[in-house]
Structures are given as C-alpha cells and as structure tokens.
Amino acid sequence: MDSVPALPRVVVTGLGVVASLGFDVETFWANILAGRNGITRVTQFDVTDYACKIGAEVVGFDPAGYMDPKEVRRNDRYTHFGFAAAKLAVADSGLNPAAENGDRVGVIIGSGIGGMHTYEQQLKILLERGPRKVSPFAIPSLISNMCSGLVAIELGARGPNFSVVSACASSAHAIGEAFHALRRGDADVMIAGGSEAAITPFSYASFCSMKAMSTRNDEPAKASRPFDRNRDGFIMGEGSGILVLETLEHARARGARIYCELVGYGASCDAFHITQPDPQGRGLSLAMTRALAVAGVRADQIDYINAHGTSTPYNDKFETLAIKHVFGEHARRLMVSSTKSMTGHLLGAAGGVEALICAKALQTGEVPPTINYEVPDPECDLDYVPNLKRSAPLRIVLSNNLGFGGQNASLVLRRME
C-alpha cells in the first residue's frame, strides 16, 4: 500500500501590528512586556452620554504612510489598519512579492464588524442630505472582505482570498483557515490575521446597552482586569495584527527567518447562547482539544496559554473552567495570561494580535503578564502571570479566542527546532 504523503509544515515568517501600544512589532512587544496600558478616555467622539467612556485607541497613526492618499480617502479606518499591518508583516518576512508566483499567495484577513466608521458616516449623509449624496465607495469601503482584497491587489496575490467574520474569533479563524489552505496545497504563502476599528458612537452605544463594557471611567489604565474578582466588563481596542504564514519548504528555499511553527487549529461552536459562553466551557474545550489533536501534542506539553480573557464576569470564569477540563492537573502548572489587560479587546482583530504575541513569546522566551490583577477570584484560580512578565523556556503555546454566536477558535504554535 502506498504511504500517505506528510502534510506540509506551516511556519510564521513575518509579523505586523498596528495598535494602541505601537505601530511596529518591537515597540509593541516592548510595551507588552513592560506591562504598559494603552487605554485612555476616548477622543474620536463625544462620550459624555455614554456609560463607557474609555478605549484603547490608535493615536497618531497616518495611513498615508502605507497607502496611496486617494485610497486612504476611499477606504475605512479598519482597512487602513489592516493594510498597514499586512505591509509591515510582508516587509518583516523579507518576501519580495514581485518575485513570487502570485497564484500561490493568498490573503485571509478577518473583521468582526468591518467598516463601522463608513457605515455611520454614510448613513448620516443619507438621512441629512439624501440618497444622491451617499458615496459610491460606501459599500466597497464598509464590507468586511475589502481589506483582504486591497492587500491582494497591492501584492499581486491571486491565491485564496476572503474574510472571516465570526465576531471576536474572526482573526483566529482567519489564521486557522490560512493554515489549512497551506496544508491542502492551495498556496505557498498566506497573509492572515484581522483588523478592527469599532470605536464609534453606534458601536459604543450598542455595547453599553448590553452592559458588556467596563464603566471604570475614572481609572482607564486599571479598567481591563481579566480574571480579577473586581472585573466589570471589557474595554474596546482597535488596530490590526497580521502574520505571514508559509510552508516550511517555501520558507527554507528562500532562506527566511522563522519565528515559530503553527502546528494546530481547532474550531467549534457552543450552540448555547448568542452572547453568553457555555457555562460548562464545552465549546471552548472542544476547540482546544481539536487544536491539540491536529498539532499532535499532549495537553501536558503546553507551556503557556494566551487566554481570550476579556475582563467580563462570565468569559473569564468559563474560560478558566474550560482550561481545567482540557488540561486537568496540568492546568495548575500552566502559565495563562490575558494581554487584553493592556491592549483592550480588539474584537475581530484580537486573535491576530494575540497570535503575534505568542510568536514573540516563543522567539524570546518571555511570557507577557496579566496586568491589573489585584484581587484573586476563587473561581479563576490559575497562574495568570500577574502584573509582571516572566522568563520561561517556552516550547509549545496555545491561543484562545471566543466570539458572539458561541464561536471558538484555538491555535497551537511551537518553537522552531
């Protein structure tokens, strides 16, 4: 009987980020390890009448440094972030797009909400000035796949191209689907991650009405406190995290620098409630179990988990429970941290930024902290790497992301050996 050929190995060769804590990976990573906080009072609109008045805004970013000024005007803020992060990731990878076979390069960039700025602006124009004044670029600007499309045009990437929309799991799913595309042989290179820019009046009003966001407005830097007993809701962030993924064969052939290997991906649905996670953690447990199985690693081989850790009462409690279900006694030896304590919650971009953090953790042997961890919660009783980074010989790490609708995604990354 003929043997089944081994699936291609997938490696991470480029990283790009635009976030409140930096517009380049080294600045961003230094701020993460230092436990700095990117959350302040929102400046993009008047928050006087809003219950939550704080967020992790991207301040001082000029998209014209990455994109033609004409395209800047035509496209939404979320696309500005994703396009810039993708260009930064490709530059970091050392890829020469002009030298690549564009048929073998793909792009999957997720977004939970897409062009919310454009939607609100153009709806206001419609209501105040009439239908003839609505921009012909409104729909192309606000749809969630536009960032993937524009990046492909920039790179000449004719491979698989789409967006993933699964709320706050969007970019983790995007990375996972890119992983599968490479393992299926659909491409040699995939640019994958997510982008979000949902700090807008309508978005804030909606989340405030749900009572999902923190109202610790007098202490912005202390408002995001995942796993802490006094957590009271998430704080929205904005930005983008993009990874360049390649088959190991392709990366080695061009002499690429490799950050780490992406070895596992698991996806599932709670099938329980549109916003509340399954109180038994069954859906997330299934995603983590599937990711470990694809990676071919045992639960006790995981050294660190970058948790979804939103700083909401339900999420942090149920994610802790799911980790205990999957890892058993090893859960007590794991390091678990939530970098949303510093970046805020980037919604559909969270998974991209947090996968990037995992790649840097494997490269440097530094584990980022959960800041603002002050009062232990008896129902959240794992090692959350409180307040200070930790040096550790990391070999295999896992990243979790959950989204409204019961969406779950888990990624497993391994140090390249």
Active site residues: 168, 308, 345
Q: How far apart are CA 397 and CA 306, in angstroms?
A: 8
**3-state SS string for the chain:** CCCCCCCCCEEEEEEEEEECCECCHHHHHHHHHCCCCCCEECCCCCCCCCCCCEEECCCCCCHHHCCCHHHHHHCCHHHHHHHHHHHHHHHHHCCCHHHCCHHHEEEEEECCCCCHHHHHHHHHHHHHHCHHHCCCCHHHHHCCCHHHHHHHHHHCCCCCEECCCECECHHHHHHHHHHHHHHHCCCCEEEEEEEECCCCHHHHHHHHHCCCECCCCCCHHHHCCCCECCCCCECEECEEEEEEEEEHHHHHHCCCCCCEEEEEEEEEECCCCCCCCCCCCHHHHHHHHHHHHHHCCCHHHCCEEECCCCCCHHHHHHHHHHHHHHHHHHHHCCEEECCHHHHCECHHHHHHHHHHHHHHHHHHCEECCECCCCCEECCECCECCECCCEECCCCEEEEEEEECCCEEEEEEEECCC
